[in-house]
């Protein structure tokens, strides 16, 4: 008779302990949320929203066609939207898609160098203390160039050129990185393994810093810099998309098969030849798939950025709710749902063909 090994006490109660911790976290989280009860106007507003969805303002959709009939056939169709070009649902939805398109596909090109910068493709590095000091010197040059680039960006938007706080921050980062490199040298001597790779670590930190700011926060910043409108929305989506696409594409580069690159190098090719003939062709399907996936997210984000003045359909939606024009808000919501559904379907089909 085979005797099964007895479970340890920890193995017996581990699941119960994890479940209890999760329940305690849920209770703590809900206890910290202030709840003052349902407002008296909640029912009336909910009914108004559903009434707007069931009885939308169709004139907001047919306004371009009405203007065409009035201009060329003198039909004299009267509505609230026949006198202003661009003040209709179709125009606003196209503007939203244009903001998302520019913000995504411009950043898709700019994100490619960031992707290779953040990809962990280095082999295990074993070197002398002198080589580590050379790497520290190279990182100092990198931080100086980065500081100058950020300073030029700040000067472009009239924030001043040299910021003392920025210089102190970059110096602290360089000192921390230098300490990690020296610590990695001693760890390498003891265990024979590296844990800190300067190129990919710096790249990942840079992309993380870019992704820290949500699109709506970036939109508020760029609205102050370039004024309200679609351009601020494009800049906000572009910057955030660089951080997201750089991360996704960098992971795709890390997971590539290195066989073709090694074959080109062993045949006498250069690293540039391996990049052009092996890495980019193998990584391009993943790059395109990630770009389409990011475009789906950007369309949703562009619909919201208008609420803070960054262009798109969100501005009309927030104005409609503020003046309690629920039929117009209803047709805007219906249009956004249809637009997002169509783009998700088309993008999904394209990604299947690419894969």
Burial annotation 16-40 (CB, 10 A radius, 16+ → b, else e) = eeeeeeeeeeeeeeeeeeeeeeeee
pLDDT higher than 60, residue 122 = no
pLDDT higher than 60, residue 33 = yes
Please give the Cα distance from 68 to 294 (Å, whole number). 36
Q: How many other C-beta atoms are found inside a 10 Å radius of the C-beta of residue 88?
A: 23
Three-state DSSP class for residue 308: helix
Residue 340's Cβ-side half-sphere holds a number of Cα atoms within 13 Å equal to 16
Give the CA-trace dihedral at 145, 149, 150, 154, to 10 degrees.
150
Mean pLDDT of the chain: 79
pLDDT higher than 70, residue 66 = no
Please give the Cα distance from 302 to 315 (Å, whole number). 10
Tell which wins on pLDDT, 61 or 190.
61
Please give the Cα distance from 115 to 229 (Å, whole number). 30
Kindly state the average pLDDT of the residues 162-185.
72
Kindly state the average pLDDT of the residues 181-194.
67
| Contact status, residue 245 vs residue 103, Cβ threshold 8 Å | no
Q: How many other C-beta atoms are found inside a 10 Å radius of the C-beta of residue 53?
A: 16
Confidence of residue 20 (pLDDT cuts 50, 70, 90): very high
Q: How many other C-beta atoms are found inside a 10 Å radius of the C-beta of residue 12?
A: 11
**Tens of pLDDT along 231-248?**
889 989 998 999 899 888
Give the CA-trace dihedral at 14, 16, 19, 21, to 10 degrees.
-70
Q: If we measure between CA atoms, which residue out of 215, 220, 234 comes closest to residue 95?
A: 234
Please give the Cα distance from 188 to 129 (Å, whole number). 11
**Tens of pLDDT along 288-315?**
898 998 999 999 989 888 888 888 888 8
Q: Domain 53-69+81-118+214-355: state its class.
A: mainly alpha
Kindly state the average pLDDT of the residues 40-52.
81
Task: Give residue 266's pLDDT.
Answer: 84
Long-range pairs for 214-218 at CB < 8 Å and ≥24 separation?
Answer: 214/240, 215/240, 215/301, 215/304, 215/305, 216/301, 216/304, 216/305, 216/308
Please give the Cα distance from 104 to 83 (Å, whole number). 33
DSSP-assigned letter for residue 255: T
Please give the Cα distance from 54 to 330 (Å, whole number). 8
DSSP-assigned letter for residue 228: S
**Cα Rg, the chain, nearest whole Å:** 28
Task: Give residue 68's pLDDT.
Answer: 57
Task: Give residue 256's pLDDT.
Answer: 82
Please give the Cα distance from 118 to 128 (Å, whole number). 25
Structure tokens given for 21: 């911790």
pLDDT higher than 70, residue 168 = yes
| Contact status, residue 307 vs residue 314, Cβ threshold 8 Å | yes
Task: Give residue 82's pLDDT.
Answer: 46
Contacts of 284 (CB under 8 A, 6+ apart): none
| Alpha-helical regions (H) of 119-163 | 129-156
Give whole-number Cα distances, 170 to 135, 139, 175, 206, in Å: 17, 11, 9, 12
Please give the Cα distance from 22 to 17 (Å, whole number). 9
Task: Give residue 125's pLDDT.
Answer: 47
Kindly state the average pLDDT of the residues 136-151.
74
pLDDT higher than 90, residue 253 = no
For the chain, the domains span 53-69+81-118+214-355, 123-196
Task: Give residue 321's pLDDT.
Answer: 86
pLDDT higher than 70, residue 178 = yes
């Amino acid at each position: 008779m085979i005797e099964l090994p007895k479970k340890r006490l920890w193995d017996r109660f581990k699941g119960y302990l994890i479940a209890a911790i999760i329940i305690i976290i849920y209770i703590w989280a809900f206890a910290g949320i202030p709840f003052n009860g349902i407002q008296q106007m909640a029912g009336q507003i909910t009914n108004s929203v559903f009434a707007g969805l069931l009885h939308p303002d169709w004139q907001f959709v047919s306004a371009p066609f009405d203007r065409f009939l009035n201009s060329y056939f003198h039909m004299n169709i009267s509505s609230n939207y026949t006198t202003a070009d661009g003040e209709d649902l179709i125009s606003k939805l196209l503007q939203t898609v244009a903001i998302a398109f520019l913000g995504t596909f411009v950043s898709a090109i700019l994100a490619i160098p960031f992707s290779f910068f953040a990809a962990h493709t280095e082999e295990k590095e074993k070197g002398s203390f002198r080589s580590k000091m050379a790497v520290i010197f190279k990182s100092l040059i990198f931080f100086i160039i980065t500081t100058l680039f950020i300073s030029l960006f700040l000067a472009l938007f009239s924030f001043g050129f040299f910021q003392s706080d920025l210089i102190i921050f970059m110096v602290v980062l360089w000192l921390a990185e230098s300490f990690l490199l020296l610590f990695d040298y001693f760890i390498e001597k003891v265990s024979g393994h590296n844990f800190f790779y300067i190129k990919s670590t710096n790249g990942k930190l840079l992309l993380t810093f870019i992704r820290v700011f949500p699109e709506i926060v970036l939109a508020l910043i760029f609205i102050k810099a370039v004024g309200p409108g679609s351009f601020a929305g494009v800049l906000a989506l572009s910057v955030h998309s660089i951080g997201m696409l750089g991360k996704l594409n960098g992971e795709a580069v890390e997971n590539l098969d290195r066989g073709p690159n090694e074959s080109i190098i062993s045949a006498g090719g250069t690293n540039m030849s391996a990049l052009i003939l092996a890495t980019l062709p193998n990584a391009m399907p993943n790059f395109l798939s990630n770009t389409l996936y990011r475009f789906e997210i950007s369309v949703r984000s562009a619909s919201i950025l208008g609420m803070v003045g960054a262009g798109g359909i969100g501005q009309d939606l927030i104005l409609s709710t503020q003046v309690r024009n629920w039929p117009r808000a209803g047709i805007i919501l219906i249009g956004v749902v249809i637009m997002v559904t169509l783009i998700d379907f088309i993008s999904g089909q394209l990604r299947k063909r690419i894969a």
